[in-house]
């Protein structure tokens, strides 16, 4: 018999990991996803610290390692393509490199997690939650397409702009702190020989926005890359559900840029796989209300490089606490937040400089940042440049939540 029914909103890293652990603990998970299928593509993501133990306990660590992108450092390039500085992934020693030991494409990790969750997990694709009605015996859920149903609990694992959070906690504007930048990822190809190095090109403020960044992320020795375009800016008017509007915005912002940018913009115009977002940090004091709890970017969103790891660890802890409480959401949700709170707080601290160090708005600022990165491996306290990420990534110990099915 099932220990309880759980509806998970979002078939991403957090939601699929949670589905896996809930099923292993004897719960019946259902996953609802707005997209018509698992979302492919996306950027390369890190798995750091305790999160490696979480995926090892899932039995997928070796599979993940087999899909490693083989990236091992980042180089900063001038408009004519010269490398003006570089930082190897291990350059900061035990404090945690700027490039993680394990990096994998988001789409690959999602597929691996879905396969691990198994065929008995129910999926409601091309659908979304439209209404939640909490009660003493369960929570009634209305969907855009599917018939209404009742569940024991609902988990919002649906990202920074969480629909579940908006329904259960209130308006997004009061819960998401704007970070002042836009970021886009899309697949592309390059003729450059990258040899496992990310290439990053900075542009000063221009075309009505602040500092701009173009980055090429290599996918092994294939010529395939993930391109990233990012820029500092106040909020701009555009339809965030319209990919063509996003492409036009990016083309305008990066118009006139040199290096590889014109070729990237040509490929951007033809792609159907574009991820475009406004940076934000979620600020929620309580991670649950009634029978609804939040997981992943819907509650942890805003870190630099630790979002995936926190999602993997959070899924393990949330499912484990539900099992330890025998499905009593009041006990489980409080224990989940208590167990995760310090770990999340430590991993959301931003390194010195933040986005302004990543995307300086003047040519002199770009030059100074490049000089600093060249000198960084030789400086005392060099680990502070990444916020001491290795220490914070290991700042939680996974509890043993008992036998699994």
- pLDDT by residue (tens digit) across 109-139? 999 999 999 999 999 999 999 999 998 889 9
Which DSSP helix (H) or strand (E) runs through 391? helix 389-393
* Residue 255 token pair: 């118009």
> What is the reported pLDDT for 89?
64
d(Cα 16, Cα 112) in Å, to the nearest integer? 9
Residue 138, Ramachandran bin (φ over 0: left; ψ between -120 and 50: alpha; else beta):
left
Q: What is the largest CA-CA distance in the chain?
A: 65
> What is the reported pLDDT for 285?
92
- Annotated domain spans of the chain: 5-67+103-174+281-350
User: In CATH, what number does 5-67+103-174+281-350 get?
Assistant: 3.50.50.60
**Burial (0-12, 13-18, 19+ Cβ within 10 Å), 275:** middle
Three state DSSP letters for 118-133: CCCCEEEECCCEEEEE
Torsions phi, psi for 378 (to 5 deg): -105, 5
Which residues on adjacent β-strands are paired with residue 9? 32, 156
pTM (two decimals): 0.92
Considering only CA atoms, which of 141, 134, 185 is closest in space to residue 31? 141
- Torsion (CA) 227, 384, 76, 49 in degrees, nearest 10: -40
> What is the reported pLDDT for 92?
45
C-alpha distances out from residue 107 to 39, 69, 372, Å: 7, 12, 34
Q: What is the mean pLDDT of residues 358-384?
A: 80
Helix (H, G, I), strand (E, B) or coil at 200: strand
Q: What confidence tens digit (pLDDT) does each residue in 153-185 have?
A: 999 999 999 999 999 987 765 789 999 999 999
């Amino acid at each position: 018999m099932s220990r309880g029914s759980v509806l998970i909103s979002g078939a991403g890293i957090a939601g699929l990991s949670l589905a896996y652990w809930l099923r292993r603990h004897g719960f019946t998970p259902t996953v609802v996803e707005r997209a018509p299928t698992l979302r492919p593509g996306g950027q390369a993501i890190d798995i750091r610290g305790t999160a490696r133990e979480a995926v090892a306990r899932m039995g997928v660590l070796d599979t993940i390692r087999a899909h490693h992108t083989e990236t091992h450092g980042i180089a900063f390039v001038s408009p004519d393509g010269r490398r003006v500085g570089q930082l190897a992934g291990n350059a900061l020693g035990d404090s945690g490199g700027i490039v993680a030991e394990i990096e994998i494409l988001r789409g690959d990790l999602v597929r691996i997690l879905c396969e691990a969750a198994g065929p008995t997990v129910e999926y409601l694709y091309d659908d979304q939650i439209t209404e939640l009605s909490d009660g003493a015996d369960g929570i009634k859920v209305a969907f855009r397409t599917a018939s209404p149903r009742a569940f024991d609990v609902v988990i919002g694992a649906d990202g920074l702009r969480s629909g579940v959070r908006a329904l259960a906690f209130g308006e997004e504007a009061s819960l998401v702190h704007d970070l002042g930048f836009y970021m886009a990822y899309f697949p592309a190809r390059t003729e450059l020989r990258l040899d496992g190095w990310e290439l990053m090109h900075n542009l000063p403020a221009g075309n009505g926005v602040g500092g701009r960044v173009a980055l090429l992320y290599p996918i092994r020795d294939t010529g395939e890359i993930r391109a990233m375009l990012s820029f500092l800016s106040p909020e701009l008017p555009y339809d965030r559900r319209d990919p063509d509007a996003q492409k036009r915005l990016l083309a305008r912002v990066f118009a006139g840029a040199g290096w590889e940018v014109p070729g990237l913009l040509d490929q951007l115009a033809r792609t159907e796989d574009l991820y475009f977002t406004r940076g934000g940090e979620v600020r929620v004091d309580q991670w649950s209300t009634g029978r609804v709890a939040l997981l992943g970017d819907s509650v942890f969103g805003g870190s630099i490089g630790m979002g995936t790891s926190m999602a993997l660890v959070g899924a393990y802890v949330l499912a484990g606490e539900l099992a330890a409480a025998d499905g009593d959401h009041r006990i489980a949700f409080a224990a989940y937040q208590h167990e995760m709170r310090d770990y999340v707080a430590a991993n959301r601290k931003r390194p010195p400089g933040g986005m302004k160090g990543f995307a300086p708005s003047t040519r002199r600022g770009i030059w100074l940042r490049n000089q600093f990165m060249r000198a960084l491996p030789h400086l005392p306290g060099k680990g502070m440049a990444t916020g001491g990420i290795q220490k914070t990534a290991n700042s939680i110990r996974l509890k043993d939540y008992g036998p699994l099915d």
